[in-house]
Structure 1
Amino acid sequence: MTERHDLLRAENLSVSFPFYGGRIEAIRNFSLRISPGKVTALVGESGSGKSVFGRTIMDIESASAQIGGSVLFDDPAGVEGPIDLLSLPHDGRKIRSIRGNRIGMIFQEPMVSFSPLHTIGNQIEEALKTHTILSPTERHERVIEMLGLVGFSKPNKVFGMYPFELSGGMRQRAMIAMALICRPALLIADEPTTALDVTIQAQILKLLKDLQSRFDMAMLLITHDLGVVANLADEVVVVYRGEVMEAGPVDEIFRNPQHPYLKGLMAAVPHFDMQPGERLKPLRDIGVDGSRMLAKKKAAAEPDPGHPRSDILLSVRNVSKSFTARRSGFFGLGTPEKTLAVNDVSFDILRGESLGLVGESGCGKTTLSKILMRGLSADAGSVTFNGAEGPVDVLHAEKEDLKILRRKVQMVFQDPVSSLSPRMTVRNIIGEPLQIHEKGDAEKRTRIVEALTSAIGLERSALSRYPHSFSGGQRQRIGIARALALGPELLICDEPVSALDVSIQAQILNLLKDLKKELGLTYLFISHNLAVVNYMADRVAVMYAGRIVEIGPVETIMRSPVHPYTRKLLAAVPYPDLDRPLDYATVGSALKRPKWDAPFDDDDDRPESLAHADLGGGHFVLAQRNADARELRP
């Protein structure tokens, strides 16, 4: 048996960029080895230089980058031995013959990576046109074969579709097909599952694992998710500020971590075995100064014992919302197609609690949150907000009632980049709600803005800066401060940490917990990360296909789920624990709707056949009306 050499070896790599008359070093004295047929994970926080390394290998880094060191690529299909990729002419013929052919790359955001003007099939086929001499028929057959390998049940149909016609998970599958179409020796996967919900993530991980084994290719997995690393990697390299802190086999890294930075990353990850009251430990904690908050709640969070329903802040009853689209056809004259996004949803949010709302992308979570915020109108149902100033009919509020609703219900958005105006300073961003609602004079508004800035752990000097000069975590803190400016009673958090790395995520989650305690806030916390919901929520509602299929206390839902969908969600969570590997056998296909066991079957012809069975202790599950609640209990 012949010895297998390193497929890729980086030695003393350094990458720097010009910055205000000087240079900033993104990578310093960086060395890394990738073995053939193995998965090497590159782990670290945002800004640690992980993606810079991947782009440097592909020769797609900015022309202003100053690069030193060497990156040796020993292609098993080559005849000339190891090639120093950095010595090749920039964007020359040789590097172009390697990029996309012998080294493929999956980018973090597939929607940005695909051209919106060309079909999926044409864009995947382009790599074959560039790197092979196959005939058009052979290229088409190869693309159809690859689309089938990545999980599309109708690859011929997908070939002619455009990127915007696919969901996030399906676009990521198409991106994987494009990266693998030339059967590369090395695949670079840059955060391939960061923006995906838990079940789609599990499917993509299974797909990558199967394809990596099938093609015997090496993989460089760039990620900050230690759960993904534990389930996919053979070797792990931990990087901080462009330097390698620790490297070794995955078993040694997880069972016997040595460097304080790696131990800190592991302590920042929320998990299901946390004790009540236990806090996450971010690498850099931020203090919360709630004492200066002018909108601090006191008696508002206390229910009135004389009124049994006075503890309910928001009451949602039988809310439905559908969207109508047209089938493709000339001038949009096809038959209208109706999609029920929210289907007969009912629940209550109690004062001072955090209700977690979980489910896959497309289940109706965000649509429901927009209805609660009056961003969308509902087709049917009622929503009542029982604020300190009296009950408000959310769906029909006008004039003064609508102003009260706008003040008392605020939202923290998923993407802090697009939700903050790039043309406004932090002072103006946080102060804008105060000005719109005419709260106090200029001097009072200034005091409130300064108090909010201090409360979220930012210096006073941050007030004159613009959003682009802050990190992702700092931008999210600014969004939280803006949401708190009017002293809301209910805060709707729509995936507030999904785009953040583990340490920044821990900062934001601890901040939200502290603010809830200091200000008596009530949260509707929307997320697909069940470990995050387990840390933040008091109760959990599970949403599937527009309906609440299970709701109950967080301990019950996370440890004794009843509905098959809830069990499927929990089974798809990748644990950062080698002793609890992901059970790929339970991961179903996202491209077809599953069929549940008899008590939970949803008969499309008779939707009234389903009802919520009371299992006791505030635990309800959606089942057939004739199901015996005693038999449903775990």
Structure 2
Amino acid sequence: MNSGADLLRIEDLGISFAIVGGPVHAVKRANLRILPGKVTALVGESGSGKSVISQAVMGILPQSARVRGRILFNDPENSNGPVDILQMPRDGHEIRAVRGSRIGKIFQEPMTSLSPLHTIGDQVGEVLKIHTEMSGAEIKDRTIEMLGLVGFPDPRRAYDMYPFELSGGLRQRAMIAMALICRPALLIADEPTTALDVTIQAQILQLLRDLQSKLNMAMLLITHDLGVVANVADEVVVIYHGEIMEAGPVEAIFRRPGHPYLKGLMAAVPHFDMKPGERLKALREVPVNVENLLGKRKPAKAASDTLLSVTGISKSFTTRKSGWFGKHAQIAVRAVDDVSFDIKRGECLGLVGESGCGKTTVSKILMRAVTPDAGSVIYNGDQGPIDILSAQGEALRTLRTKIQMVFQDPVSSLSPRLTVQNILSEPLEIHDRGDARSRLETVRSLLQAIGLDQRSINRYPHSFSGGQRQRIGIARALALGPDLLICDEPVSALDVSVQAQILNLLKDLQKELGLTYLFISHNLAVVDYMADRIAVMCGGRIVELAPRETLMKRPVHPYTRSLLAAVPFPDLDRPLDFKTLHASGASDTSAWSSQFREDGDEDALSPTDLGGGHVVLARRTADVRELRP
């Protein structure tokens, strides 16, 4: 094919890094193309070489990288034809003229990619300052126009704001504005939606698609989410361990996947059409062996079937707004508002909602890390009920062993200074369980239970992959033989294939050990796979609670419907309906029907029972027959 037809053409690209013990070959003889005005998706797991390829295209590879091959960029504004980016001097004038101006990049983590010391306007406008001769006033006008284009509700106000004042979705929009302000021919989007809620993700995808056609630019979308690919891409390139396995138009790739790796990736994605009892097919299964595990037992039949009973908990946080001359205005923000639910023994209750809806605050209240302003939490253990909020002494020590937590980020939740053995034996030492020999046996049993090699017992967390670290976090939570595990977004930081491993592991452990889960997530497809019942949270309140099948097939609340509509399917026949997704997000109450709105009257809403365990938050005056789907 004539390279003149391609905007970017990568030929025979090899990238290796020199380390002690021999070079690491991150990319091996990769060939791919990006057509003008089209979206090419580069799909693969963490460590497959996706981001390294994008760094090579931008000319920002580290000094230690050894590169061979060609990266031909055919800029429509350059009449001299294609130029080889790899032949340009590292920090020369040529590459700086291309980087940021003709090729823009959106990075994965908007919080760490934006400077906390400069306003949004300064950071977006700086790109124009570097690449154009515009005056300060022109730069400001163009920046405000761009902020409006990427969907800031008040661009002039946003111009003077700092990144910490913006939500995750708006920070990502600021990153997009920065990448697009010079109207590049090619935009590289490196996992642009990984850290975002499904509703915000859908908005960002729609925005990228609209801007791409409006500005007629090409896009290289780097992702591991096949649902995103099906909704946005024109061409797909699948990469595995630095080698390109399959490439072609999105229609051919999704309808007739050829390579076993791609078929495996597709089978690892949880979706709403799964049959009861059907398992996700992880690329690499984790063998679960809980034979010698401490606490392996089916729980004794207690007086109550309800393990945890939460009634009317509320929590407000006070923020201070500084005024002139030391005057402070105190503003109370209600994070959790009159939340009640029960968790039955052996079940998995899913708690779903967007960022900021109060899910994590609820989990912290259950763990005694945050004290609520009102309400009660009762744990019905084998020795009788314990009031979690007022427990002291021995009762509190018992609680600490019976309720454990699996955290969201497997990197920051494990101490980098402790070996795996230290991490897993620490809970046993704190609670005086056994002697040194029995603790070592327990640690070995835990490693066996989560499918990790016994040889990893003396390794440190940094030497493991994200999925392996999350398995160590799960093992630590199991060390004391708990009854209830609170899983706070345990797979949101993981690849699809590793996510399937962890979800299957959690399901197997629940079955083998008779565990009870509170599973917190913003991904409804994941919760659909794990949970028996699902509670949907919005603005600090539970707006709908129902058995899984009921909620997925017959959702009543408009917020639940918006969440379901925003989940991207890895299926070309079920595209996202961007028209039904509101620009202001799923929690915009103005889009809801009057039956579900307060309209100024705080006592207007109350939980309404629709039968069969299905409860929805609606106006007291609403007719139940009208609410039923």
Separation in structure 2 between the aligned mates of residue 3 and residue 442 of structure 1, nearest angstrom: 66
Conserved 8 A contact 1:364-1:545: yes
Q: Which amino acid aligns with 2:116?
A: P
The residue number in structure 1 matching 2:205 is 205
Q: Which amino acid aligns with 1:42?
A: L
Secondary structure in structure 1 of the residue aligned to 2:328: coil
2:626 is equivalent to residue 631 of structure 1:
yes
Conserved 8 A contact 2:150-2:176: yes
Deviation at 1:594, TM superposition (A): 2.9
Q: Which amino acid aligns with 1:600?
A: F
Which of 480, 484, 491 is the aligned partner of 1:486? Answer: 480
Please give the per-residue CA displacement for 1:144-191, whole angstroms capped at 9, x wherever unaligned: 001111111111111111111111111101110111011000000000
Q: Which amino acid aligns with 1:197?
A: D
Which of 472, 476, 484 is the aligned partner of 2:470? Answer: 476
Structure 1 length as normaliser, TM-score? Answer: 0.97
The more displaced of 466-475 and 334-343 is: 334-343
2:411 is equivalent to residue 417 of structure 1:
yes
Alignment of 1:25-40 (within 5 A): 25-40=25-40
Separation in structure 1 between the aligned mates of residue 474 and residue 598 of structure 2, nearest angstrom: 39
Please give the per-residue CA displacement for 1:444-498, whole angstroms capped at 9, x wherever unaligned: 1111111001100001111100000000000000000000001111000000000
> May I ask how many residue pairs the two structures share in their alignment?
626
2:370 is equivalent to residue 376 of structure 1:
yes
Secondary structure in structure 2 of the residue aligned to 1:335: strand
2:149 is equivalent to residue 149 of structure 1:
yes
Q: Which amino acid aligns with 1:253?
A: I
Which of 422, 445, 451 is the aligned partner of 1:451? Answer: 445
Deviation at 1:79, TM superposition (A): 2.1
Conserved 8 A contact 1:119-1:161: yes
The residue number in structure 2 matching 1:550 is 544
The residue number in structure 2 matching 1:84 is 84
2:160 is equivalent to residue 160 of structure 1:
yes
The residue number in structure 1 matching 2:423 is 429
The residue number in structure 2 matching 1:307 is none
Secondary structure in structure 2 of the residue aligned to 1:285: coil
The residue number in structure 2 matching 1:589 is 583
Q: Which amino acid aligns with 1:116?
A: P
Please give the per-residue CA displacement for 1:510-561, whole angstroms capped at 9, x wherever unaligned: 0000000000000000001111000000000000000000001000111110
Please give the per-residue CA displacement for 1:354-378, whole angstroms capped at 9, x wherever unaligned: 0000000110001111111111110
Q: Which amino acid aligns with 2:595?
A: P
Conserved 8 A contact 1:611-1:623: yes
Alignment of 1:596-611 (within 5 A): 596-603=592-599, 605-611=600-606
Deviation at 1:258, TM superposition (A): 0.5
Deviation at 1:397, TM superposition (A): 1.5
Q: Which amino acid aligns with 2:512?
A: E
Alignment of 1:315-326 (within 5 A): 315-326=309-320
Secondary structure in structure 2 of the residue aligned to 1:416: coil
Which of 495, 498, 508 is the aligned partner of 1:504? Answer: 498
Conserved 8 A contact 1:359-1:365: yes
Conserved 8 A contact 1:572-1:586: no
Separation in structure 2 between the aligned mates of residue 418 and residue 278 of structure 1, nearest angstrom: 33
Deviation at 1:3, TM superposition (A): 11
Deviation at 1:386, TM superposition (A): 0.9
Which of 459, 466, 479 is the aligned partner of 2:460? Answer: 466
2:123 is equivalent to residue 117 of structure 1:
no
Deviation at 1:430, TM superposition (A): 0.8
Alignment of 1:377-392 (within 5 A): 377-392=371-386
Secondary structure in structure 2 of the residue aligned to 1:297: coil
Separation in structure 2 between the aligned mates of residue 425 and residue 86 of structure 1, nearest angstrom: 41
Which of 302, 308, 312 is the aligned partner of 1:314? Answer: 308
Separation in structure 2 between the aligned mates of residue 299 and residue 437 of structure 1, nearest angstrom: 21
Conserved 8 A contact 2:4-2:82: no
Conserved 8 A contact 1:613-1:623: yes
Deviation at 1:21, TM superposition (A): 3.1
The residue number in structure 2 matching 1:615 is 610
Structure 2 length as normaliser, TM-score? Answer: 0.98
Deviation at 1:4, TM superposition (A): 6.9
2:341 is equivalent to residue 339 of structure 1:
no
The more displaced of 400-409 and 554-563 is: 400-409
Conserved 8 A contact 2:3-2:9: no
Q: Which amino acid aligns with 1:576?
A: P
Deviation at 1:41, TM superposition (A): 0.1
Alignment of 1:3-402 (within 5 A): 5-300=5-300, 302=301, 304=303, 310-330=304-324, 333-402=327-396
Deviation at 1:92, TM superposition (A): 1.3
Secondary structure in structure 2 of the residue aligned to 1:290: coil
Separation in structure 2 between the aligned mates of residue 84 and residue 493 of structure 1, nearest angstrom: 48
Q: Which amino acid aligns with 2:330?
A: P
Secondary structure in structure 1 of the residue aligned to 2:603: helix
Separation in structure 2 between the aligned mates of residue 299 and residue 426 of structure 1, nearest angstrom: 28
Separation in structure 2 between the aligned mates of residue 587 and residue 333 of structure 1, nearest angstrom: 41
Conserved 8 A contact 2:302-2:381: no
Shift in CA distance, 626/460, structure 1 to aligned 2, threshold 3 Å: same
Mark the runs of 5 or more structure 1 residues left unpaired by the alignment.
Answer: 305-309
Conserved 8 A contact 1:13-1:68: yes
Conserved 8 A contact 2:38-2:218: yes
Deviation at 1:15, TM superposition (A): 0.5
Secondary structure in structure 2 of the residue aligned to 1:26: strand
Separation in structure 2 between the aligned mates of residue 111 and residue 299 of structure 1, nearest angstrom: 44
Please give the per-residue CA displacement for 1:188-245, whole angstroms capped at 9, x wherever unaligned: 0000000101100000001001000100000000000000000000000000000110
Secondary structure in structure 1 of the residue aligned to 2:589: coil
Separation in structure 2 between the aligned mates of residue 266 and residue 331 of structure 1, nearest angstrom: 60
Secondary structure in structure 1 of the residue aligned to 2:534: strand
